[in-house]
Amino acid sequence: MITVHEAYQAVIEKALPAAIESVHFMKSRGRVLRESIISDRDLPPFDRVMMDGIAIRYAAFQEGIRAFKIQEVQAAGAPRSSLKAKDGCIEIMTGAVLPEHADSVIRYEDVIIDHGIANIQIEAIKPSQNVHLQGTDRKRGTEVLIPGTIIGAAEIGVFASLGVDQVKVSRNPTCTIISTGDELVEVNEIPLAHQIRRSNVFMLQSQMESFGIIAEQIHLLDNQDHIKFQVEKLLKKQDLLIISGGVSKGKYDYLPTVLTDLGVQKIFHKVKQRPGKPFWFGKHPSGVLVFALPGNPVSSLVCLVKYVHQYLYNHLKAKSTSPKAILTSQIIFKPDLDYFLPVKVDYSGAQIEAIPQPGQGSGDFANLVNADGFLHLPRGQEQFNKGEIYPLHLYRNPVL
């Protein structure tokens, strides 16, 4: 049996860079950017007025002038006007270009306008006040977004701003998630006493959607020929197969045999971890990767976030962070295995806190709603103390 670290390394090694495709920028959320986005103009592109008010010459104010004759009004979207007289001003609106020869904007709140004269009511102003100077955010030609960025709302705003209509992103792998087991029935069925609804695969499928991967689903009975027939077809069609169940030591756990028979090269089977020990990982000569996860719901989710997610970050060339969290109470775990402890995460303090929610083990899917992710407690020690810091694998988005 290999260690979690060895299993992780073996998975990462198989992550070749994904192909690149272009998508409309509004379809790019959650995708991984594969190009530099360069500013096509200075940001802001002109000296942008930030307040509704009047534009004047700072020097005139310094010389003691407080009453400025209104020359004209310049709206946002109007071409740049030019301030003529020294004691003149231009009424100016937020978003407008600062007029030529003007350099300061005084907001309406600090001015009284009477018979075409703007009388300034404040004692001190600064040069360039209320003006967002051209190019102070970014100069034209500078890199605003780097490859590897996972695209979210802020990036969508940058694309729109810079006129990037089509954006180059990693092509997501095509994927089928396979549930196995004679005990499983459909969600809309009433299970008999000895049956349960197949639930895992929906959890895994929805988790894959957080990468923008829309996976298909299929259910297979614990019948060797049936499994072989279906998996063979899928190996020809998809980039990635994620299988749930049928990989342990049971009489009807046919997957390791079937996968080997179909030419999928086993890279490892069984990892020194709990939950998720029976995890099987392999690669078909055609390049298809097979993540065969144990069927227990908690095990399958642990393996998904620890291995499939990390594979995807590498394959899609995403810049990922590796969050860590501080354990809030002592945990004793004696087996010689890495332990993925379900934890509720508290982000409200200076450090991310992981509050243990051990639940009843790998079958306790209901307990997953009490947690946000798994804290990775390494093997080689039995006692994990309050205040110690460990890697965190989240399945719940912190912003939700």
User: By CB under 6 A, is residue 184 in contact with ligand AMP?
Assistant: yes
**199 makes contact with ligand AMP (CB under 6 A):** yes
Q: How far is the CB of 15 from ligand AMP (least distance, A)?
A: 25
- State the distance between the two ends of the chain, measured CA to CA, in whole angstroms: 37
Q: Does 297 bind Mg ion (CB under 5 A)?
A: no
Q: Is 99 in the site for ligand AMP (CB under 6 A)?
A: no
Give the nearest distance from C-beta 311 to Mg ion in angstroms.
24
Asked whether position 295 contacts ligand AMP by CB under 6 A, the answer is yes
Kindly tell me which of 106 and 292 has the beta carbon lying closer to ligand AMP.
292
3-state secondary structure of 306: helix
- Interface with ligand AMP (CB under 6 A), residue from 294, 342, 356, 373: 294
Closest to 94 in 3D by CA, of 77, 80, 81, 118 = 77
Q: Which of 122, 131, 244, 123 is nearest to 181 (CA)?
A: 244
| Main-chain dihedrals φ then ψ at residue 169, nearest 5 degrees | -135, 165
Interface mask toward Mg ion for 138-177; x: CB under 5 A: ----------------------------------------
3-state secondary structure of 326: strand
Residue nearest to ligand AMP (CB): 295
Using rule CB under 5 A, residue 245 touches Mg ion: yes
State which residue, 123 or 186, has the beta carbon closest to Mg ion.
186
Q: Does 297 bind ligand AMP (CB under 6 A)?
A: yes
Closer to ligand AMP at the Cβ: 282 or 295? 295
Q: Does 198 bind ligand AMP (CB under 6 A)?
A: yes
Q: What share of the chain is helix, strand, coil (3-state, %, to 5)?
A: 20, 30, 45
Instruction: Yes or no: say if 153 and 399 are a contact pair by the CB < 8 Å rule.
Output: no
Contact residue for ligand AMP among 44, 53, 212, 246 (CB under 6 A): 246
By CB under 5 A, which span of 171-179, 293-301, 333-341, 348-356 interacts with Mg ion? 293-301
Report the residue number, 31 or 228, with the smaller CB distance to Mg ion. Answer: 228
Interacting residues with ligand AMP between 311 and 370 (CB under 6 A): none
- Computed on alpha carbons and rounded to an integer, the radius of gyration of the chain in Å comes to 30
Q: Does 181 bind ligand AMP (CB under 6 A)?
A: yes
| 150/145 Cα distance (integer angstroms) | 10
Q: Which of 134, 149, 205, 296 binds ligand AMP (CB under 6 A)?
A: 296
- Would you give the DSSP letter of residue 262? T
- If you search the block for the tokens 């083990």, which residue do you land on? 361
Q: Looking at this protein, which amino acid is placed at residue 244? A: S
Report in angstroms how near the CB of residue 248 gets to Mg ion at its nearest. Answer: 7
CA distance 80 to 104: 15
Q: Which does 53 bind (CB under 5 to 8 A by kind): Mg ion, ligand AMP, none?
A: none
Which of Mg ion, ligand AMP, none does 230 bind, CB closer than 5 to 8 A by kind? Answer: none
> In the chain, which ranges are continuous DSSP H helix?
4-13, 58-62, 153-162, 200-209, 224-237, 255-261, 297-303, 309-315
- Considering CB under 6 A, how many residues would be counted as binding ligand AMP? 19
Q: Other C-beta atoms within 10 Å of 24: how many?
A: 10
Burial of residue 236 (CB within 10 Å: 0-12, 13-18, 19+) is: exposed
The residue written with tokens 């298909």 in the block is 216
Helix (H, G, I), strand (E, B) or coil at 32: strand
250 near ligand AMP, judged by CB under 6 A: yes
Q: Which does 179 bind (CB under 5 to 8 A by kind): ligand AMP, Mg ion, none?
A: ligand AMP
Name the residues that contact Mg ion, by CB under 5 A.
Answer: 181, 245-246, 295
Name the residues that contact ligand AMP, by CB under 6 A.
Answer: 179, 181, 183-184, 196, 198-201, 244-246, 248, 250, 253, 294-297
